[in-house]
C-alpha cells in the first residue's frame, strides 16, 4: 500500500451517493501501488447537499524510491482531438453565463506543461543547481480515444477508459528504474524532493482551500437555523434557542440584525465576551448596536451622567452590573429587536433589565448553549418564551465531533452536521514540572509545515490570563517563529489592548463564539475531568473547523485516553 501525503483520506466518503472520481483514483493509487511509492495529492473535497468541489493544480504526483516523479493529470470531462492537440471541453455550467453554446475548450498539453514547468522552476529556485526529474501521465477514466493521437501526445503517457484497468501497471512501468540509472546525486535529492512536494503540492493548497471550503459550507449548512426561526409565528415574538456549538447561533443573530436594519428598526445585540462582540461588530449592518453586557452598562452610566467605574477596582464589573440594573427602567420602550447571545453566561437580573428596554411588540431572541457555561451561573428563566433546540454541529469536522462524543464532554451526544471529514487530533505531551511552551511550539511548527497559515490558527489556553504561561503577559513573544498577538490589558474606558502579531494567543474563556481552521489547545493539565474541565475542553475543541492539537500534561493525557478507551 502506497504512502499518502497528506495522509488524510476517508474511504467512507466514497460510500455515499456523491462519488468524486479523483477520490476513487486516490484509493486505487493507495491500494494498488506498493509501499515503495509515495502519492502526493492535491485532491480534497467538500460536500453540501449533492454539490462537490475538488481542488489542486496537479492532481497526483507519484514518487519512486529513487526520486523519480510522475505527475498525473486526471480529466473527467469530455476530451476531443483538434488543432493538433487534446482539448478538454467544459460546459457553461462550470461558471459561464453564455449558455450551452458557450462551452469552452482548453489545451491539456498546455496545462500539463505549465504545471510541470512551474514545479521544475520552483524546485531549482529553492535548490540551485538541482533539477526535478518529473514525467507526466494523462488519465482519462471517462473518455475513450479513437484514431491517431496528435503528434504532441505520447500514447504511452495516456490512459483512457479502454485502458483503465492498466493504470497501476502503466505507472509502475513509467517509474521503473534500473540500478545502473541511480546515482548518489539522485539519492541526495530525496530529502529535498519530499520536503518540496510536501509543501508545494500537499500542504498549502490542501489546507488553505479546504479551510476556505469548510468556512463556506459551514455558513451554508448552519444557515438553516435562521430559516427555521424566521418561519416561526408567535405573539409576542420571544424565541429561546438552545443550540450546540457550531449550530448556527451567530448566523441567526446576524440575520435578526440584518432584518431589523432593513426595516429601519432599533436593534440591540448583547453578548458576554468582548472578542465575540468585536467579531459581531465587523459583521453587523450597524456596529453601534453591538455591545457586551458590561460595555452597555458603561455606556448607560456615562449617558446618565454618573461617575465612571474604576476598572482597576476588583469589583468593577459587579458595580457596572448593579448600576445598569438600577438605570434600565429609564430606557424602557427603546428597542424593536433584542438579541442576547451567550445567554448561559448571563444572570437573571441582567436578562430582566435588558428585556425592560424593549417595546411591546419587539422581537426578542435569546441564544445559549448550557454546555458552554464556564462561569457556573444558574440558568436564566424566561417564562412564556418559545424554545427551539438545535443539537447539530455544522462547524466542527466529523472526526472531531466523534472525538468529542467519545470523551463524553456533553450530557447528550452532539450530532455531526459538517460536510468536512477533518483530521484526527494531534497529541503533544509534556511533564507537569516542565513548561508547556516547547510542546506548544512544536504543535504550531507541525501545523505550519502542513500548510496552515498563522492567520488561520488560534492558540487557546485552558487557563485564565492570570495563570496562563502561554496567553498571559509573561508568555513568549513568538511561537514557531511567528510573533504572537495577545491581549495586553484594557484602556481606561474598558477597551481591550492587543500586541502586534500574526498568531492569536488567547484563553478559551475569551474565544467563545469564534473559530479558526486549526486550534491548539494548550495547558491541559488536570488530573481528573469534572464539569469545569469538560466544558472548557468542549468549548476549545469546537472552535476548530479542520484540525485540533492537544498540548497536555502526562496526567491529563492519561485521563483523556482512559475516557477514549485507549
* The three cell numbers locating residue 496: 481591550
Q: Is 180 exposed, middle or buried (0-12, 13-18, 19+ CB in 10 A)?
A: exposed
For residue 146 the three cell numbers come to: 479513437
Least reliable range by pLDDT among 117-131, 363-377, 384-398, 520-534: 117-131
Q: Which pLDDT value is given to residue 497?
A: 75
For position 367, what pLDDT does the model report?
96
Average pLDDT, the chain: 82
**How far is the C-alpha of 165 from the C-alpha of 498, rounded, in Å?**
59
Q: What confidence score (pLDDT) does residue 355 get?
A: 96
pLDDT at 102 over 60: no
CA 150, CA 160: separation in Å to the nearest integer?
Answer: 15
Q: Over 80: is that where the pLDDT of 211 sits?
A: no
Round to whole Å and give the CA distance between 557 and 427. 8
Name the burial class of residue 554, with classes exposed (0-12), middle (13-18) and buried (19+) by CB atoms within 10 angstroms of its CB.
middle
Q: Give pTM, 2 decimals.
A: 0.60
User: Does 99 have pLDDT greater than 50?
Assistant: no
Higher pLDDT, 548 or 153: 548
- Range of lowest pLDDT (62-66, 222-226, 468-472): 222-226
Q: Where in the chain is the domain with CATH 3.40.50.300?
A: 223-390, 398-564
* Residue 94 clears pLDDT 50, i.e. is over it: no
Query: Would you say 28 and 167 are in contact if contact means Cβ atoms under 8 Å apart?
Result: yes
Confidence of residue 46 (pLDDT cuts 50, 70, 90): very low
The string of DSSP codes covering 426-493 is EEEEE-TTS-SHHHHHHHHHHHHHTT--GGGEEEEESS-TTT-SSSSTTS-SEETTEEEE-EEEE-TT
- Please give the share of the chain, as a percent, with pLDDT higher than 90: 43
Is 542's pLDDT higher than 70? yes
Residues in Cβ contact with 317 at an 8 Å cutoff, skipping those fewer than 6 apart: 294
Report the pLDDT averaged over residues 431-438: 95
> What pLDDT is recorded for position 219?
52
pLDDT at 390: 87
Q: Which of 190-194, 208-212, 217-221, 424-428 has the highest mean pLDDT?
A: 424-428
* 273 or 422, greater pLDDT: 273
The CATH classification of domain 398-564, taken from the options 3.30.470.20, 3.40.50.300, 3.40.718.10, 3.10.450.40: 3.40.50.300
pLDDT band of residue 291 (cuts 50, 70, 90) is: very high
d(CA 447, CA 388): 38
Sign of CA dihedral 174, 175, 176, 182: positive
How many whole angstroms from its chain centre is CA 452?
A: 10
Over residues 50-73, mean pLDDT: 69
Instruction: Kindly tell me if the per-residue pLDDT of 504 is higher than 90.
Output: yes
pLDDT at 305 over 60: yes
The continuous run of DSSP H or E covering 325 comes out as helix 316-327
So what's the pLDDT on residue 177?
64
pLDDT at position 431 is 95
pLDDT at 293: 96
Average pLDDT over residues 321-328: 94
The correct answer on CATH 3.40.50.300 for the domain covering 223-390 is yes
Reply yes or no on whether the pLDDT at 545 is more than 50: yes
Amino acid at each position: 500500500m502506497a504512502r499518502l501525503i497528506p495522509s488524510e483520506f476517508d474511504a467512507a466518503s466514497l460510500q455515499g451517493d456523491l462519488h468524486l472520481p479523483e477520490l476513487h483514483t486516490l484509493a486505487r493509487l493507495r491500494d494498488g501501488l506498493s509501499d515503495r511509492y509515495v502519492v502526493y495529492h492535491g485532491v480534497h473535497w467538500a460536500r453540501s447537499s449533492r454539490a462537490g468541489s475538488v481542488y489542486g493544480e496537479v492532481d497526483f504526483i507519484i514518487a519512486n524510491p529513487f526520486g523519480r516523479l510522475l505527475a498525473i493529470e486526471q480529466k473527467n470531462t469530455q476530451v476531443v482531438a483538434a488543432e493538433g492537440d487534446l482539448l478538454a471541453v467544459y460546459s457553461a455550467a462550470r461558471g459561464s453565463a453564455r449558455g450551452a453554446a458557450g462551452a469552452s475548450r482548453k489545451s491539456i498539453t498546455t496545462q500539463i506543461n505549465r504545471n510541470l514547468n512551474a514545479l521544475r522552476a520552483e524546485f531549482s529556485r529553492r535548490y540551485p543547481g538541482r533539477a526535478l526529474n518529473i514525467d507526466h501521465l494523462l488519465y482519462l477514466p471517462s473518455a475513450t480515444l479513437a484514431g491517431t493521437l496528435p503528434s504532441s501526445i505520447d500514447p504511452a503517457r495516456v490512459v483512457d477508459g479502454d485502458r483503465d484497468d492498466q493504470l497501476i501497471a502503466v505507472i509502475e512501468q513509467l517509474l521503473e528504474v534500473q540500478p545502473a540509472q541511480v546515482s548518489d546525486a539522485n539519492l541526495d535529492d530525496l530529502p529535498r524532493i519530499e520536503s518540496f512536494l510536501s509543501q508545494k503540492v500537499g500542504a498549502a493548497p490542501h489546507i488553505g482551500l479546504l479551510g476556505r471550503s469548510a468556512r463556506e459550507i459551514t455558513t451554508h449548512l448552519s444557515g438553516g437555523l435562521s430559516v427555521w426561526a424566521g418561519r416561526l409565528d408567535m405573539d409576542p415574538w420571544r424565541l429561546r434557542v438552545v443550540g450546540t456549538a457550531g449550530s448556527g447561533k451567530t448566523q441567526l443573530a446576524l440575520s435578526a440584525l440584518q432584518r431589523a436594519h432593513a426595516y429601519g428598526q432599533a436593534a440591540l445585540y448583547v453578548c458576554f465576551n468582548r472578542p465575540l462582540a468585536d467579531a459581531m461588530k465587523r459583521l453587523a449592518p450597524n456596529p453601534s448596536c453591538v455591545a457586551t453586557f458590561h460595555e452597555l452598562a458603561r455606556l448607560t452610566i456615562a449617558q446618565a451622567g454618573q461617575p465612571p467605574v474604576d476598572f482597576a477596582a476588583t469589583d468593577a464589573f459587579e458595580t457596572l452590573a448593579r448600576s445598569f440594573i438600577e438605570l434600565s427602567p429609564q430606557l424602557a420602550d427603546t428597542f424593536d429587536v433584542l438579541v442576547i447571545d451567550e445567554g448561559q453566561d448571563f444572570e437573571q437580573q441582567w436578562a430582566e433589565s435588558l428585556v425592560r428596554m424593549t417595546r411591546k411588540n419587539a422581537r426578542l431572541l435569546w441564544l445559549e448553549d448550557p454546555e458552554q457555561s464556564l462561569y457556573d451561573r444558574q440558568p436564566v428563566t424566561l417564562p412564556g418564551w418559545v424554545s427551539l433546540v438545535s443539537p447539530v454541529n455544522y462547524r466542527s469536522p466529523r472526526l472531531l465531533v466523534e472525538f468529542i462524543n467519545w470523551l463524553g464532554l456533553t450530557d447528550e451526544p452532539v450530532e455531526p452536521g459538517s460536510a468536512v471529514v477533518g483530521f484526527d487530533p494531534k497529541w503533544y505531551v509534556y511533564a507537569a514540572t516542565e513548561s508547556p511552551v516547547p510542546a506548544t511550539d512544536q504543535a504550531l511548527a507541525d501545523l505550519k509545515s502542513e500548510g496552515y497559515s498563522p492567520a488561520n490558527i488560534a492558540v487557546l489556553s485552558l487557563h485564565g490570563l492570570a495563570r496562563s504561561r502561554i496567553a498571559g503577559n509573561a508568555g513568549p513573544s513568538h511561537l514557531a517563529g511567528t510573533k504572537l498577538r495577545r491581549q495586553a490589558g484594557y484602556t481606561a474606558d474598558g477597551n481591550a489592548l492587543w500586541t502586534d502579531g500574526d498568531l492569536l494567543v488567547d484563553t478559551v474563556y475569551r474565544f467563545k463564539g469564534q473559530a479558526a481552521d486549526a486550534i491548539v489547545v494548550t495547558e491541559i493539565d488536570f488530573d481528573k475531568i469534572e464539569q469545569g474541565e469538560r466544558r472548557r475542553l468542549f468549548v476549545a475543541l469546537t472552535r476548530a473547523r479542520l484540525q485540533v492539537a492537544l498540548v497536555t500534561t502526562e496526567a491529563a493525557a492519561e485521563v483523556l485516553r482512559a475516557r477514549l478507551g485507549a
